[in-house]
A and B are shown apart, each in its own frame.
Chain A
Amino acid sequence: MQQDNRHRNDLVRGMSRRRMLRQTACGFGGLALAGLLNEDQASAAKVSGLAPKAPHFAPKAKRVIFIFMQGGPSHVDSFDYKDELVKNDGKNIDFVGVRFGTFGKKSKRRLMKPLWRFKKYGQAGQTVSELFPHIAQHVDDICLLKGMHTNGVAHGPSTLFMHTGATALVRPSIGSWVTYGLGSENKNLPAFVTISPSATKGGPRNYSNAFLPTIYQGVPIGRAGLSAKLAKIAHISNPKMELSDQRRQFEFMQKINRVQLEAAQGDDRLDATIKSYELAFRMQMNAPGVLELSGEDEATKEMYGIGEKHSDDFGRQCLMARRLSEAGVRYVQINYGDESPNPRWDQHSNMPAHMNHARATDKPVAGLLTDLKRRGLLEDTLVWWGGEFGRTPFAQGKNGRDHNPRGFSIFLTGGGVKSGFSYGETDEIGHYAVEGKVHMHDLHATILHLMGLDHEKLTYRSAGRDFRLTDVYGEVVKEIMA
Chain B
Amino acid sequence: MAALTLMGGMAVDAATKPTAKQLTFFEKRIRPLLVAKCYECHSTKSKKVKGGLLLDSAEGWRAGGDSGEAIVPGKPEESLVIEAVRYKNRDMEMPPKGKLKDHEIVALEAWVKMGAPDPRMGSAKGIKKQKIDIEEGRKFWSFVKPVKGTPPVVENDDWAKDGISRFILASLEEKGLNPVGETDRVTLIRRVSFDLIGLPPTPAEVDAFVHDKSPNAYEKLVDRLLASKHFGERWGRHWLDVARYAESTGKTRNYPYPHAWKYRDWVIEAINKDKPYDRFVMEQVAGDLLAGRTADQRNSQKIATGMFAMGSYDLNERNTRQFKMDVVDEQIDTMGRAFLGLTLGCARCHNHKFDPVPTTNYYALAGIFVSSEAKFGYGSRQGGGNRMSNALLVSLEKAGEDNNGATTAKNVPVQQSLSKKEYDRRMTMLNAQLKQAQRRLKRLSNSAAKRSKNKRRNKNATNGQTEQLKKTIAGLQRQVRSLRKQSPQGGTRGSGNVAMGLAEGNRVADVKVHIRGEISNLGRLVKRGFVEVITDRNKSTHATGKGSGRLDLARWLVDEGNPLTARVAVNRVWHHLFGRGLVSTVDNFGATGSRPTHPELLDYLAVEFMEDGWSMKGLIKRITMSKAYRMSSAHNTKSYEVDPDNLLLWRMNRKRLEVEAIRDAMMFVAGSLNMKPAVASPVARYGNGEIRRNAQIDSVTTGSSHRSVYVPILRGYEPEMFSIFDFAEPSEVKGRRDITTVAPQALFMMNSEFAMTQAKRAAEDMLTRSELKNLTRVKHAYRNALGREPSKAELDRAVRYVFNYIQSKGESKAAVTEAWASLYHALFASAEFRYVY
B750 cross-chain contacts in A, Cβ below 8 A: 235, 238, 246, 250, 277, 280-281, 284
B318→A103 contact, CB < 8 A: yes
B740 in the interface, Cβ–Cβ < 8 Å? yes
A239 in the interface, Cβ–Cβ < 8 Å? yes
A461 in the interface, Cβ–Cβ < 8 Å? yes
A201→B635 contact, CB < 8 A: no
B251 to A: closest C-beta gap in Å: 6
A110 to B: closest C-beta gap in Å: 24
Chain A: which residue is nearest B697 at the CB level? A199
A264→B343 contact, CB < 8 A: no
Q: Convert B614-641 into 0s and 1s, putting 1 for each residue whose CB lies closer than 8 angstroms to a CB of A.
A: 0000000000000000000101000000
Chain A: which residue is nearest B636 at the CB level? A265
A464 cross-chain contacts in B, Cβ below 8 A: 343, 346, 354-355, 588, 590, 592-593
Chain A: which residue is nearest B342 at the CB level? A464
Q: How far is the CA of A363 from the CA of B752 in the complex (A)?
A: 37
A248→B654 contact, CB < 8 A: no
Chain B: which residue is nearest A425 at the CB level? B98
B834→A273 contact, CB < 8 A: yes
A49 cross-chain contacts in B, Cβ below 8 A: 740
A233 to B: closest C-beta gap in Å: 8
Q: Which of the candidate stretches B143-151, B396-404, B468-476, B821-829 sits at the interface with the other chain?
A: B821-829
Chain B: which residue is nearest A210 at the CB level? B729
B252 in the interface, Cβ–Cβ < 8 Å? yes
Question: Given the interface contacts A249-B825, A260-B830, A280-B743, does A156 sit within 8 Å of B98 by beta carbon?
Answer: no
Q: How far is the CA of A339 from the CA of B717 in the complex (A)?
A: 14
Q: How far is the CA of A422 from the CA of B692 in the complex (A)?
A: 39
Q: How far is the CA of A148 from the CA of B588 in the complex (A)?
A: 39
Q: Convert A208-223 into 0s and 1s, putting 1 for each residue whose CB lies closer than 8 angstroms to a CB of B.
A: 0011011100010001
B654→A475 contact, CB < 8 A: no
Question: Which 8 pairs of residues, A with B, have the shortest CB-CB distance?
Answer: A156-B252, A100-B318, A280-B746, A464-B343, A199-B693, A265-B635, A273-B831, A168-B314
A213→B830 contact, CB < 8 A: no
A52 in the interface, Cβ–Cβ < 8 Å? no
B826 cross-chain contacts in A, Cβ below 8 A: 249, 252-253, 256
Q: How far is the CA of A234 from the CA of B723 in the complex (A)?
A: 12
B593 cross-chain contacts in A, Cβ below 8 A: 464
A274 in the interface, Cβ–Cβ < 8 Å? yes
27 contacts between A and B (CB under 8 A): A48-B741, A103-B318, A156-B316, A190-B743, A199-B693, A201-B252, A203-B693, A205-B716, A211-B732, A213-B740, A233-B747, A236-B747, A238-B751, A239-B751, A246-B750, A252-B801, A253-B830, A256-B830, A264-B633, A269-B656, A276-B745, A279-B746, A280-B743, A341-B384, A436-B97, A463-B345, A464-B588
Residues of B within 8 A of A (CB): 48, 50, 96-99, 250-254, 312, 314, 316-319, 326, 337, 343, 345-346, 353-355, 381, 383-384, 587-588, 590, 592-593, 633, 635, 654, 656, 690, 692-693, 716-717, 720, 723, 726, 729, 731-732, 738-748, 750-753, 756, 791, 793-794, 797-798, 801, 804-805, 808, 822, 825-827, 829-832, 834-835
8 Å CB contact of B96 from A201, A245, A341, A439: A439
8 Å CB contact of B253 from A48, A156, A170, A245: A156
B355 cross-chain contacts in A, Cβ below 8 A: 464
B825 cross-chain contacts in A, Cβ below 8 A: 249
B633 cross-chain contacts in A, Cβ below 8 A: 264
Give the size of the chain A interface in residues (CB under 8 angstroms). 87
Q: How far is the CA of A249 from the CA of B829 in the complex (A)?
A: 10
Q: How far is the CA of A48 from the CA of B253 in the complex (A)?
A: 34
A204 in the interface, Cβ–Cβ < 8 Å? yes
Which A261-291 residues have a C-beta within 8 angstroms of B?
261, 264-267, 269-270, 272-277, 279-281, 283-284
A215 cross-chain contacts in B, Cβ below 8 A: 740, 742
A414 in the interface, Cβ–Cβ < 8 Å? no
Q: How far is the CA of A223 from the CA of B343 in the complex (A)?
A: 37
A186 in the interface, Cβ–Cβ < 8 Å? no
Question: Given the interface contacts A160-B252, A248-B801, A464-B593, does A279 sit within 8 Å of B743 by beta carbon?
Answer: yes
Chain B: which residue is nearest A424 at the CB level? B98
B326 cross-chain contacts in A, Cβ below 8 A: 168
Q: How far is the CA of A267 from the CA of B651 in the complex (A)?
A: 13
A248 cross-chain contacts in B, Cβ below 8 A: 801, 804-805
Apart from A214-B740, A239-B753, list 4 A-B contacts with CB within 8 A: A49-B740, A203-B254, A235-B748, A463-B587
Q: How far is the CA of A438 from the CA of B753 in the complex (A)?
A: 47
Question: Given the interface contacts A103-B318, A168-B326, does A249 sit within 8 Å of B822 by beta carbon?
Answer: yes
Residues of A within 8 A of B (CB): 47-49, 99-101, 103, 147, 154-157, 159-160, 167-168, 170, 190, 199-205, 210-211, 213-215, 219, 223, 233-241, 245-246, 248-250, 252-253, 255-257, 259-261, 264-267, 269-270, 272-277, 279-281, 283-284, 339, 341, 434-439, 442, 456, 461, 463-465, 472, 475
Q: How far is the CA of A225 from the CA of B745 in the complex (A)?
A: 26
How many A-B pairs have beta carbons closer than 8 Å: the answer is: 204
A245→B748 contact, CB < 8 A: no
Q: How far is the CA of A66 from the CA of B441 in the complex (A)?
A: 52
Q: How far is the CA of A236 from the CA of B254 in the complex (A)?
A: 29
A284 cross-chain contacts in B, Cβ below 8 A: 747, 750-751
A202 cross-chain contacts in B, Cβ below 8 A: 252
Q: How far is the CA of A260 from the CA of B829 in the complex (A)?
A: 13
A214→B98 contact, CB < 8 A: no
B343 cross-chain contacts in A, Cβ below 8 A: 463-465
Question: Given the interface contacts A255-B797, A279-B746, A461-B592, does A170 sit within 8 Å of B731 by beta carbon?
Answer: yes
Question: Given the interface contacts A255-B797, A259-B794, A276-B745, does A236 sit within 8 Å of B751 by beta carbon?
Answer: yes
A283 cross-chain contacts in B, Cβ below 8 A: 743, 747
B251→A273 contact, CB < 8 A: no
Q: How far is the CA of A200 from the CA of B739 in the complex (A)?
A: 28
8 Å CB contact of A235 from B318, B635, B752: B752
A456 cross-chain contacts in B, Cβ below 8 A: 48
A260→B743 contact, CB < 8 A: no
A455 to B: closest C-beta gap in Å: 11
A339→B693 contact, CB < 8 A: yes
A99 cross-chain contacts in B, Cβ below 8 A: 318
B98 cross-chain contacts in A, Cβ below 8 A: 147, 434-437
Q: How far is the CA of A229 from the CA of B489 in the complex (A)?
A: 45
A435 to B: closest C-beta gap in Å: 5
A280→B747 contact, CB < 8 A: yes
Question: Given the interface contacts A157-B252, A436-B98, does A204 sit within 8 Å of B716 by beta carbon?
Answer: yes
Q: How far is the CA of A465 from the CA of B342 in the complex (A)?
A: 12
Q: How far is the CA of A389 from the CA of B798 in the complex (A)?
A: 59
8 Å CB contact of B832 from A100, A157, A260: A260
A436 to B: closest C-beta gap in Å: 6
Chain B: which residue is nearest A237 at the CB level? B751
Q: How far is the CA of A47 from the CA of B729 in the complex (A)?
A: 23
Q: How far is the CA of A210 from the CA of B734 in the complex (A)?
A: 12
A280 cross-chain contacts in B, Cβ below 8 A: 743-747, 750
A48→B742 contact, CB < 8 A: yes
A264→B635 contact, CB < 8 A: yes
A156 cross-chain contacts in B, Cβ below 8 A: 251-253, 316
Q: How far is the CA of A439 from the CA of B97 in the complex (A)?
A: 8
B592 cross-chain contacts in A, Cβ below 8 A: 461, 464-465
B693→A214 contact, CB < 8 A: no
Q: Which of B96, B337, B635 has the most CB of A within 10 A?
A: B96
A274 cross-chain contacts in B, Cβ below 8 A: 831
A264 cross-chain contacts in B, Cβ below 8 A: 633, 635, 654
B31 to A: closest C-beta gap in Å: 23
Q: How far is the CA of A103 from the CA of B746 in the complex (A)?
A: 50
A167 cross-chain contacts in B, Cβ below 8 A: 252, 314
B744→A235 contact, CB < 8 A: yes
Q: How far is the CA of A472 from the CA of B826 in the complex (A)?
A: 49
8 Å CB contact of B729 from A147, A211, A219, A341: A211
Chain A: which residue is nearest B637 at the CB level? A265
Chain A: which residue is nearest B837 at the CB level? A264
B833 to A: closest C-beta gap in Å: 9
Question: Given the interface contacts A463-B337, A464-B343, does A277 sit within 8 Å of B746 by beta carbon?
Answer: yes
